[in-house]
Amino acid sequence: MSGQDTGGPLLSGRGMIGGYGGADILHGVNIEAHAGEIVVIVGPNGAGKSTAMKALFGMMPLREGRVTLRGADITALSPQDRVKAGMGFVPQTGNVFASMSVEENLEMGGFLREDDVSETMEMVFSLFPILKEKRRQPAGELSGGQRQQVAVGRALMTRPEALMLDEPTAGVSPIVMDELFDKILDIAATGPAILMVEQNARQALNIADRGYVLAQGENRYEGTGADLMADPEVRRSFLGG
Amino acid sequence: MTDILNALVLFMNFVGVPALAYGSQLALGALGVTLIFGVLRFAFFAHGDLMAFGTMVTILATWGLQAMGVSLGVLPTALLALPFGAAAAVLAALSADKAVFAFYRKQRAKPVVFFIASVGVMFVLNGLVRIIIGPDDQRFADGGRFLFKVGEFRDWSGLSEGLAIRTTQALTVVAALIVMVALFRFLERTKMGKAMRAYSDNEDLALLSGVDPARVVRWTWVIAAVLATLAGVLYGLDKSFKPFTYFQLLLPIFAAAILGGIGSPKGAVVGAYIVAFSEVMVTYAYRKFAMYLGPQDWAPEGLLQLLSTEYKFSVSFLILVAVLVTRPTGLFKGKVF
C-alpha cells in the first residue's frame, strides 16, 4: 500500500487552476492532507471550497496543476478510478440511495470490492450504532443526521485512505453537528486522512488538525486549527469576529 | 344463497378471470416500461411495438415448429418458440440502443429528445412487423383449450352459472407470477439488480460507487425486451396477435406504470391489475349479475353497462389523467413523470 510513500502528504493538490468550462474558479489552490489528519477548508461563499474538493476528486477537470495520492500522480484519473485508488467522497446533497435500505446503501459503497465486506460493515455499524438498528429501513426515511451517517458510512465501505466530506453538517441541528464531528474524530483515529469543506467554520476548526482559508479561488491563510482560530485577521474576516 | 353464488361465479367468469389474465400481461409490459424509465430516464414509446416484434418472431418460430411436428401437448407450442422471440426482441432493443439512444446519451440530451427518438424507433419496428407478418390477425394458439369448461363447472357445482378457465389464462397468470418473483428476487438480491436500483435511484452516487453504466443499461434492455416478448406472446395466445392492437396496448401499459409510480417495479404490477380490473369492470354489462342479486322476477331495463367495449381505452386514459393531476408520483412514490 505504501510503496510510493516518501513521507510526503497522502493527498495533495498543487497549483490547481480550473473551472466548469467558463471562467476559472480556482486560481492556483494548494491543499494537502496527511494520514490520520483532519483538514478543514473554510472560506466565504463562492470562495471555491467545494470546487477545490471536487478538483481533488476528479469531478472537475484541471487546466493546470496536479493531484497526487501517496506521491503518485492521479490528475488524469476519473472519480471512479480514484475510489479504486483509495479515495472516498461524500457529496453534500444526494449522498444516499433514498429508496434503498441502510444496509444496501453500505453494500453499494463496497460495490467495487471483490472480497467480503461484512467486516467493514460491522466496523461502520460500530461507529454508527443507530444504523445497525435501522439497517432494513430505506435511507430516505431517516432523519437528516442519520442520513449523513449513512452517507459517511457508504464512503467508508471501500476503506479509503483519504476521505473527503463536502459540508457534512449542512442542514442538521447543532446537537447533531457536534455528534457528527465526534464521529469524524473517531474515523480519523482509525487512520485515513480526512478533508472536509465546512460552513460551520469555528466548530470545524475546533476539531481540525489543520485548516485552509480560501477566498476568491486562492489560498488566503493556512495553519493549525488553533492558530487560525487565534489569528485576529482570520477571525474578523472569515469567522464573524 | 345460490343466487349470490351464481352472481359471484358469473362475475368471476366474465370479469375476475379475464381481468386477472389481462392484468398479468399488462404487468409484464409495465415492468419493462418502468425499468427503462428508472434507468434510462425516458418514456420508451416503442414498447408496444417491441412486444409485437418479439411476438411476431415467436409466431414464426411456432409455425416452424408446428410444421416440423413438434408439440408440447396441452401447452401451446409457442412456449418452445418463446426463446427465439425473446432473443430477437433483445437484439432489436440493443440495436436500437446502439444506433439511436447511445448517441443521445453521449450528447446528454433531454428526456424529451429520447422520447421523440423512441417514437421513431416505434415506427421502424412497427413497419418491420407489418412488412414481415402483415397487419392482420394471426392465431397461433394450440394445445388444450380449457383447463375446465363452463359445462364441467356447472355439473361439478350444481349452479346454473358456470366458470371456464382457458389454458392460456392459467398459463398467463402462472408465467407472470413466476417471472415477477424471479425479477423481484433479481432486483433485491443480486449485485447487478442492486446496481440497477442504485443507478435508477441516484445516478451520480451510483457512478461514484463504481457502477458501470454501460452494463446497467444493457441489462435493462435485455430484461425489458424479454418481459415485453413474454407479455406479447401471452396476450396473443389469450386473445390474438394483431400489430395495431399491440401498439394500442401502450396506453394501458403506461397508465399502469404511472399509476403505480413510474420507476417502481412494485407499483407497475399493482398499477397493471388496477388498470385491467377497471377496464373490464367498467365495460362489463351487469344485467344478469343484477338479476341474481335483485328481487325475484325483476330485470333491469338496460344492459347495465357503463361503457361500451369500444371505448375501453378511455378508462386507461382517465386513470392516467387523474393520476397525473392529483398524484404524479403514483401510488408507490415513483419519479415524477
Q: Which residues contact A100 (CB under 8 A, 6 or more apart)?
A: A108, A138, A139, B194, B197, B198, B201
Is residue A114 classed exposed, middle or buried when 0-12, 13-18 and 19+ CB atoms within 10 A define those classes?
Answer: exposed
Q: Which residues of B touch A99 (CB under 8 A)?
A: 197, 201
Q: Which residues of B touch A116 (CB under 8 A)?
A: none
The proportion of chain A whose per-residue pLDDT surpasses 90, expressed as a percent, equals 45
Amino acid in position A142: L
The ipTM estimated for the assembled molecules is 0.84
- Rounded Cα–Cα distance for residues B145 and B162 (Å): 16
Q: What is the pLDDT of residue A155?
A: 92
Contact B201 A80 (CB under 8 A): no
Q: What is the CA radius of gyration of chain A?
A: 17
Asked whether residue A241 carries a pLDDT value surpassing 70, the answer given is no
Mean pLDDT of A185-212: 89
Q: What is the pLDDT of residue B329?
A: 86
pLDDT level of residue B337 (50, 70, 90 thresholds): low
Q: What's CA A78's distance to the chain center, in Å?
A: 17
Q: Which residues of B touch A112 (CB under 8 A)?
A: 209-210
Strands A26-33 and A11-18: antiparallel
Mean pLDDT of B204-220: 90
Q: What is the pLDDT of residue A6?
A: 54
Mean pLDDT of all residues belonging to chain B: 89
Q: Nine-digit cell at A137?
A: 429501513
Residue B269 lies in a domain: no
Contact A79 B207 (CB under 8 A): yes
Asked whether residue A165 carries a pLDDT value surpassing 90, the answer given is yes
Distance between first and last Cα of chain B: 48
Nearest to B198 among A83, A94, A108 (CB): A108
Q: What is the pLDDT of residue B336?
A: 56
Provide residues of B within 8 Å CB-CB of chain A: 191, 194-195, 197-198, 201-202, 204-211
Contact A97 B202 (CB under 8 A): yes
Contact B210 A83 (CB under 8 A): yes
- Using DSSP's 3-state secondary structure scheme, residue B335 falls into coil
Asked if A193 contacts A163 with a C-beta cutoff of 8 angstroms, the reply is: yes
Is residue A118 classed exposed, middle or buried when 0-12, 13-18 and 19+ CB atoms within 10 A define those classes?
Answer: exposed
Residue B305 lies in a domain: no
The proportion of chain B whose per-residue pLDDT surpasses 90, expressed as a percent, equals 55
Q: Which residues of A touch B211 (CB under 8 A)?
A: 108, 111
Mean pLDDT of B320-329: 89
Q: Nine-digit cell at B99?
A: 444506433
Asked whether residue B162 carries a pLDDT value surpassing 90, the answer given is no
Write the CATH number for B230.
Answer: 1.10.3470
A109 Cβ under 8 Å from any chain B Cβ: yes
Residue B177 lies in a domain: yes
- Using DSSP's 3-state secondary structure scheme, residue B164 falls into coil
User: Could you tell me the pTM of the whole model?
Assistant: 0.86
Distances (CA, A) of B163 to B9, B157, B285, B328: 6, 10, 17, 39
Asked whether residue A231 carries a pLDDT value surpassing 60, the answer given is yes
- Rounded Cα–Cα distance for residues A211 and A189 (Å): 18
Q: What is the pLDDT of residue A144?
A: 86
Say which CATH architecture domain A16-86+160-241 belongs to.
3-Layer(aba) Sandwich (3.40)
Of B125 and B335, the structure prediction assigns the larger pLDDT to: B125
pLDDT level of residue A4 (50, 70, 90 thresholds): very low
- Using DSSP's 3-state secondary structure scheme, residue A16 falls into strand
Distance between first and last Cα of chain A: 44
Residue B251 lies in a domain: no
pLDDT level of residue B224 (50, 70, 90 thresholds): very high
Asked whether residue A2 carries a pLDDT value surpassing 70, the answer given is no
Asked whether residue B322 carries a pLDDT value surpassing 70, the answer given is yes
pLDDT level of residue B75 (50, 70, 90 thresholds): confident
pLDDT level of residue B174 (50, 70, 90 thresholds): very high
Q: What is the pLDDT of residue B276?
A: 94
Element (H, E) at B20: helix B17-40
Q: What pLDDT, in 10s, does the model give residues A43-96?
A: 888 888 889 999 999 988 888 999 999 989 999 998 888 998 999 999 988 899
Range of lowest pLDDT (A16-25, A50-59, B116-125, B151-160): B151-160
Q: What is the pLDDT of residue A235?
A: 83
The residue extents of the domains of chain A are 16-86+160-241, 93-158
Residue B162 lies in a domain: yes
Q: At what angle do helices A144-156 and A174-189 cross, to 10 degrees?
A: 20
- Rounded Cα–Cα distance for residues B131 and B49 (Å): 13
- Rounded Cα–Cα distance for residues B252 and B19 (Å): 13
pLDDT level of residue A3 (50, 70, 90 thresholds): very low
Which phi and psi (to 5°) does residue A152 adopt?
-70, -45
Contact B195 A99 (CB under 8 A): no
Q: What pLDDT, in 10s, does the model give residues B15-24?
A: 889 999 999 9
> Residue B229 belongs to what domain range?
2-246
Mean pLDDT of A176-194: 90
Range of lowest pLDDT (A152-166, A210-224, B40-54, B139-153): B139-153
Q: What is the pLDDT of residue B146?
A: 82
Asked whether residue A1 carries a pLDDT value surpassing 60, the answer given is no
Asked if B40 contacts B121 with a C-beta cutoff of 8 angstroms, the reply is: no
Asked whether residue B297 carries a pLDDT value surpassing 80, the answer given is no
Mean pLDDT of B124-128: 94
Mean pLDDT of B221-231: 96
Q: What pLDDT, in 10s, does the model give residues A121-135?
A: 999 999 999 999 999
Q: What's CA B191's distance to the chain center, in Å?
A: 27
Q: Which residues of A touch B198 (CB under 8 A)?
A: 97, 100, 104, 108, 111
Of B73 and A112, the structure prediction assigns the larger pLDDT to: A112
Q: What is the CA radius of gyration of chain B?
A: 21
Asked if A17 contacts A63 with a C-beta cutoff of 8 angstroms, the reply is: yes
Which phi and psi (to 5°) does residue B92 adopt?
-65, -45
